[in-house]
Chains A and B, each alone.
Chain A
């Protein structure tokens, strides 16, 4: 009884409220709908004006429509000209009313026309959303909005920002809002003192876009403001320059880690066993293709596993490349020990054959290997950007190297391997099956190349030519570091990486590479065994 009464009352209340709002709300909604429908008219310039007009209404109901426009999900009916937000639903589109956000049925794609946007319009939308979302309940939205205002420097956003700053409780969002306000102040017609204060705020923010903003401002400013802006831009510039050195070292280490990954496997097959293996790059490629196949299977059958696809690929790539390595050793290389020239030619042939095989199976075009979320994007330390994928690759390279050293130094298999490479006949006399140790060692080197392929698929093309670009670099690292010495490979890779990155800004990428090559040629003249040469009788054997 009680509940019925309650529901009756609320129904009444609801009807009453409907009655109250009926005259006002729909009219307003109609007006907005009309304005949104106009987005579809004219060229990019008209559309830009319409976006600005919508933003000027200050009505938060335009946010979904503008967001959809920026994302390319706002469509117009070919017949009737009504504009809808769409969602993909199979081959059809689900229509959503842009103002009320109510479901408006389904339609085939062909009955709708996309409202086109270009970069300029996307920028306009971003700026417009900045002003509208400063009061959003979601802190991330507010942060993004403040960032957008910083980019747009719209003086009309100052009162909005003031209100938002007064309410803001999160320190980091507030800081960005204050910076956005400073940027807006610089493009407003406020007095000199306010602007000087703003310049200080932006100077403290630092970074490239702050410098860009200040220089932009200095171009139009006069007198005291101009000198202050130039001065602050100079301070930022100096801090950027100081960071540039650190950044170069990081880039160098990151390039070095890629070289290291590509070269570790070769350090085994060439460094330890002395086989000039021209098919080494193709082992890397096989690893990358294994990653592709794993991701392909995951995409079609187990999409929830995508984030760990690379982890699954690592052992598989090791097995695939390792198995191919063992097959090559058993089938071809073992007949050619002690004949380096024939080995070189035979492995070169294998390399071409493997490339063409992959090309015939997967086609000549690049394959898409996705990046899991934890590896995308970047973070900033001071004034330098570190991308996650490079960071993970650096860590991964070091882990692989450490694991390999452990195998070599601490396992019976590692002991046998070292014994065989140091004195084959003596090792044989001790009961070691030298030919199987050879096969496994070659398999290990190839398998590690396969693991490198998993990592390289994240930064390079996955195409049949993937391996070719790494073979020269790998040999360079191994020879430079000292044949047969894993520490040498590490130091060699990092040295070459850093040297390359310090030369690149001055000499350009092409000349930088040549200079490094010349340096290595000279270095090898002086120290033919590389940086960390093995000493003792083993060398002569």
Chain B
């Protein structure tokens, strides 16, 4: 009996020791969650972001990690399935105990994980340009808000003498909201309703004959015409192929795109597309020492000298470095402390300047307009003179122009209405 008790005690002790050992071991690394689709329709864009996060973590570990601890990446695959994003986010935070998550691409995936991050009070870095109209305590938006991409692009074209506008987009929330903002902005600048054509197409649309010929027709009314494209992902390749085949030249009807970067052009023969435009906060062709270093590391990491870099990758680069710096300032990875210390953190971006995290959880970035070159790269033809701060709530929409976001105490509010003086207007 006694021996039995002894063994029991011993077993408990051993179990206790192993348990303690396990926790001690777990505390030696800081876990970073990566929530990007590795299968399904969005894998085409998101897999690259997973790779870039792994690279950044590896590089940071070479420098000794953070707070003296190594970083450990936890990769999950939400498979381009929006509800699965929420489940996987919950798994990362509650089961894997990650301290921060980098992830999501589409707005609907972000909306799907928002409640999870709020409930479990964790941190999400979102690296993609989006429609704005959101500012959430647990989310840091390192991609462009509409005023950091769409508005400067339209300004550039207006300067070039464009009077007639085609707003073409894929039918979902980002193009619809962006086009609403642009329509209001264009009308505010004296463009007549007749001179704006809005067109939506389904995801993965592949037969562009009618629409491209409509654009041609719309562009032949005797005024300089441009197309503002919020066409997403897969649909772009057949769209540009049809443009090239029907002989629409950038000199006559330029297309400025917000979702087409180096990665998307990699599957295309760009010779017929020279001169079409894209607006981003980063191009691979940007000439800066940071960028040269980044590209070199990336090509070495992927072991592929042909791999290209793009804007959302830079957003993760900025976001990751901001998080590292904020953790070092806070001295802990606890969510509340890091969220507070993130505001005001300034890190170098890849275009030769510095980006800062603002109280509305958006960052400051330069805006670059680039033209497609025959080698599949962009050449910057215009850039904003300084940094543009991201505006969570558009000034051009009636519902949101009175809203501001400031997560510093004492306001601590993502949608403060300056008219009514109350927190809580539209959205979250």
Residues of chain A touching chain B, judged by Cβ–Cβ distance below 8 Å, are: 44, 72, 114, 116, 118-120, 122-123, 126, 151, 208-209, 211-216, 218-219, 240, 247-248, 251, 254-255, 258, 355-356, 359, 363-368, 370-371, 376-378, 385, 387-390, 459-465, 468-469, 500-501, 504-505, 508-510, 513
Most buried by B among A248, A258, A500, A509: A509
B245 on the interface (CB 8 Å rule)? yes
CB pairs A–B below 8 angstroms (22 shown): A116-B379, A119-B277, A151-B252, A212-B220, A247-B213, A364-B43, A365-B48, A366-B266, A368-B266, A370-B269, A371-B241, A376-B272, A390-B209, A460-B237, A460-B238, A461-B234, A463-B44, A508-B200, A509-B199, A509-B210, A510-B171, A513-B202
Cβ–Cβ contact A255 & B201, under 8 A: no
Closest B residue, CB atoms, query A215: B222
User: Footprint of A on B, CB under 8 Å?
Assistant: 38-41, 43-44, 47-48, 160-161, 171, 199-202, 204-207, 209-211, 213-214, 216-217, 219-223, 234, 237-238, 241-242, 244-247, 250-252, 254, 263-264, 266-269, 272, 274-275, 277, 371, 373-374, 379, 381-382
Q: Are B267 and A463 in contact (CB under 8 A)?
A: yes
Task: State the CA gap A465–B80 with chains docked (Å).
Answer: 12
Of A122, A213, A365, A469, the residue contacting B44 (CB under 8 A) is A365
Q: Contact partner of B241 among A119, A459, A464, CB < 8 A?
A: A459
Question: Which of A214, A251, A364 sits near B47, CB closer than 8 Å?
Answer: A364
Contact for B160 among A119, A359, A367, CB less than 8 A: A119
* In the bound complex, CA of A538 to CA of B114 (Å): 56
With both chains docked as a complex, state the minimum distance between the C-beta of A383 and any C-beta of chain B, in angstroms: 11
Q: In the complex the two chains form, is A118's CB within 8 Å of B213's CB?
A: no
By a CB distance below 8 angstroms, the chain A residues around B44 are 364-366, 463-465
From B200, B202, B205, B382, name the one whose CB has the most chain A CB atoms within 10 angstroms.
Answer: B202
Expressed in whole angstroms, the Cα–Cα distance for A370 and B238 within the complex equals 13
Interface centre among A118, A240, A247 (most CB of B within 10 A): A118
Q: How many A-B residue pairs have CB under 8 A?
A: 157
A363 to chain B, nearest CB (A): 8
* Complex interface: chain A residues within 8 A of B39 (CB): 355-356, 359
CB distance from A251 to the nearest CB of B (A): 4
Are B251 and A461 touching (Cβ within 8 A)? no
Return the chain A residue nearest B198 by Cβ: A508
Q: Check if A359 sits within 8 Å of B43, measured CB to CB.
A: yes
Task: Indicate if the CB atoms of B202 and A510 lie closer than 8 Å.
Answer: yes
Q: Give the distance in Å from the alpha carbon of A465 to the alpha carbon of B40 in the complex.
A: 7
- Top-7 shortest CB links A-B: A366-B267, A216-B222, A215-B222, A208-B220, A212-B220, A387-B245, A364-B43
The CA-CA distance from A247 to B210 in the complex, in Å, is 9
Given contacts A460-B238, A461-B267, contact A255 B209 (CB under 8 A): yes
Could you tell me the distance between the alpha carbons of A377 and B245 in the complex, rounded to whole angstroms?
A: 5
Asked if B263 and A365 sit within 8 Å, CB to CB, the answer is yes
Minimal Cβ-Cβ distance residue in B for A255: B207
Answer whether A464 and B220 are a contact pair too, CB < 8 Å, given A385-B247, A469-B206. Answer: no
